[in-house]
Amino acid sequence: MKFRCERDVFVEALGAVGRAVSARSSAPALSGLHAVLEGNHLVLTGTDLDLTISSTLEVNGEQDGKAVLPAKLVTDIVRSLEPGAVSISADADQAQITSGRSQFAVNLYPADEFPQLPEPGGEPVTIESALLADALRQVVPAASSDDSRPIVLTGVLMTAEAGGLRLVATDSYRLAVRDLPGTSVLGENQHVLIPSKALNELTRVLPSAEEVTLVLGERDARFSIGSITLTTRLIEGEFPNYRGLIPSSQPNRLLASRTALIDAVRRVRLLAREATPVRLTLGDESLELLALTQDVGQASESVDAKYEGTELTVAFNPEFLLNGLEVTPGDEVSLETVDALKPALLRSTESSDFLYLLMPVRVS
CA atoms within 13 A on the CB side of 132: 28
- What stretches of the chain show up as alpha helix (H) in DSSP? 7-18, 71-80, 129-139, 196-205, 258-268, 318-327
Domains in the chain: boundaries: 2-113, 125-244, 247-358
pTM of this structure:
0.90
In whole angstroms, give the CA distance from residue 101 to residue 87. 12
Quick one: angle between helices 196-205 and 129-139, nearest 10?
Answer: 140
What pLDDT was estimated at residue 155?
A: 96
The third-level CATH classification (topology) of the domain covering 2-113 is: DNA Polymerase III; Chain A, domain 2 (3.10.150)
Among 3.20.20.70, 3.10.150.10, 3.40.50.300, 3.40.50.1110, what is the CATH number of 125-244? Answer: 3.10.150.10
In whole angstroms, give the CA distance from residue 52 to residue 110. 19
| CB-CB neighbours of 200 under 10 Å | 16
What pLDDT was estimated at residue 217?
A: 84
SS3 33: strand
Q: What are phi and psi of 117, to 5 degrees?
A: -100, 130
Q: What are phi and psi of 93, to 5 degrees?
A: -120, -25
CATH number 3.30.300.30 given to 247-358: no
- Give all strands (DSSP E) within 59-148, no chain letters: 60-63, 65-70, 85-90, 94-99, 102-107, 125-128
Q: Side chain identity at 302, as an amino acid letter?
A: S
DSSP per-residue string spanning 166-229: EEEEE-SSEEEEEEEET---S-TT-EEEEEHHHHHHHHHHGGGSSEEEEEE-SSEEEEEETTEE
Contact partners, residue 59, CB within 8 Å, separation at least 6: 3, 4, 5, 37, 40, 41, 42
Q: Side chain identity at 86, as an amino acid letter?
A: V
In whole angstroms, give the CA distance from residue 352 to residue 178. 9
Per-residue pLDDT of the chain (364 residues; tens, 9 = 90+): 999 999 999 999 999 999 999 877 778 888 999 999 999 999 999 999 999 999 999 999 999 999 999 999 999 999 999 999 999 999 989 999 999 999 999 999 998 889 888 777 778 889 999 999 999 999 999 999 888 888 999 999 999 887 789 999 999 999 999 999 888 777 777 889 999 999 999 999 999 889 999 998 889 999 999 999 999 999 999 999 999 888 888 899 999 999 999 999 999 999 998 789 999 999 877 899 999 988 889 999 999 999 999 999 999 999 999 999 999 999 999 999 999 999 999 999 999 999 999 999 988 7
Q: How many residues does the chain have?
A: 364
In whole angstroms, give the CA distance from residue 212 to residue 124. 10
Judge whether 2-113 and 125-244 match in fold: yes
Which H or E run includes 156? strand 155-161
Contact partners, residue 74, CB within 8 Å, separation at least 6: 14, 33, 95, 97, 106
In whole angstroms, give the CA distance from residue 173 to residue 343. 9
